[in-house]
Amino acid sequence: MMLPPYLFDIQQEIEGYAKEYGLDFFEQIFEILDYKTMNEVAAYGGFPTRYPHWRFGMEYEQLSKSYAYGLSKIYEMVINNDPCYAYLLEGNSLVDQKLVITHVCAHNDFFKNNYYFSRTNRKMIDEMANHATRLRRHMERFGVDRVESFIDICYSIDNLIDPMSMFIARESDGAKDGPPAGRGGGLRLKAKGYMDKYINPPEVPGEGGEGEGGGEPEEPQVETRPKFPRRPQRDVLKFLLEHAQLEPWQQDVLDIIREETYYFAPQGMTKIMNEGWATYWHSKIMTQRVLDDSDVIDYADHAAGVLGGGMSLNPYKIGVELFRHIEERWDMGRFGKEYEECDDLATKRGWDKQLGLGREKIFQVRSIYNDIMFIDEFFTEDFCREQLFYTFGWNERSEQWEIQSRTYEKIKNQLLTMLTNAGQPRIAVEDGNFENRGELLLTHTHEGVDLRLDWARDTLANLYKIWRRPVNLMTKVEDKGKLLSFDGKDHSEKSMNAE
């Protein structure tokens, strides 16, 4: 349901305020949904149309029960798209609707201007509908159970991508190189990876054959098989698309899952910044331009719920406080060599160059940083102490959660560890012809946290269904190398020399 006139007028008013502050966003289209429809859309990841799968039903049941028992409530959803679609919950108070519209303006600005969203599909609503049509056709032809089972397999490995490959030109792995220089075929047509060998074949008929050019026949050369791939490849899904013996419909399903995973990847890379940016601007615009005196208590109650503390990391809280901290530092000139080398604590406390560069700085940060860079550069010891951060853990003796440390270095390291690769293990394809038997070898880059071996075994079993040959994973458990293998029937483990 489209917005009623009074809410549309409020939308126009708030968008005007946001633009006055410098926010730049795509056209916004708001719709009002009842709580059942809101839960349905939320279960689909915010998109109105997705392909059928049991996971979406499970998400819907969880959201519906959580709402029915008063455990949670979805106030808003916004989609990275051009135009930007956002949803308001029917029955919310007018203050909440104003807050959500303001919050969405800032999210939309972040989507449009943050570098890590620059390579995402800005017509993803249409693309999701296209994906749904393609998968429904596969289900009609090959059966719902068969296609859904393969989707399950793809979901079990959908985190095995290389998020930075969207921004870094990786060197070719040599597995599907085109014709060598001087043998024709300089023009190559754009194609999906797994279709490249058909659209751009390595040999061009009629060129370079025997008897052409009148030259001496070339000396026979001994073929040396290069490493396959030449370098470890983090985008495991891409490697499987190009080299696994999949049926065409399976390639299409895996390609769809991979495309959607890359679309959502920047949201995982910028969760703290994105929510912090939206909270910063809804707080400023609501309190300075929108709220009436009668709205203050309702707004404060809602804001307290969003920014409330707890045992888990609150991206709204840490994000907004860090943006405010950056703005204050650059307004007062508390940065640079002179400030960093100052040893007088009293001088530092009174340091104020009145530069007024804070607003410009936070817009710059919004444009070029992700969460890891954000925390690494701006999570200072002063900020950590002011915000009373600490690490906590489970005490086996007292059988309760307890504060473990207030040390700045430990707190920052734990934050960065949580954010590295979104807390997921870093897995890469090491060898597609392991021990010259056509087996697949993956390696786990150990970053201080051991793999869950039960999950790893299940994942290997699913990888086998795609690769159709034995699959292996090299990891490290308790500082000892371990090779996990699955041959289609049995799992095996072998101790190796850890590097």
**Euclidean distance between the first and final Cα of the chain, in Å?**
59
pLDDT number for residue 130: 97
pLDDT number for residue 202: 56
pLDDT number for residue 479: 77
Over the chain (499 residues), the average pLDDT of each successive run of 10 is: 90 97 97 93 93 94 88 86 95 93 98 97 96 97 96 96 86 44 41 63 46 45 65 95 95 97 96 96 96 88 76 85 97 92 88 95 98 95 88 77 81 88 88 92 86 92 96 88 92 78
- Residue the block writes with tokens 């458990």: 477
* pTM of full prediction above 0.75: yes
Taking alpha carbons only, the member of 426, 465, 463, 458 closest to residue 441 is 463
Tokens encoding 450: 């051991």
pLDDT number for residue 295: 87
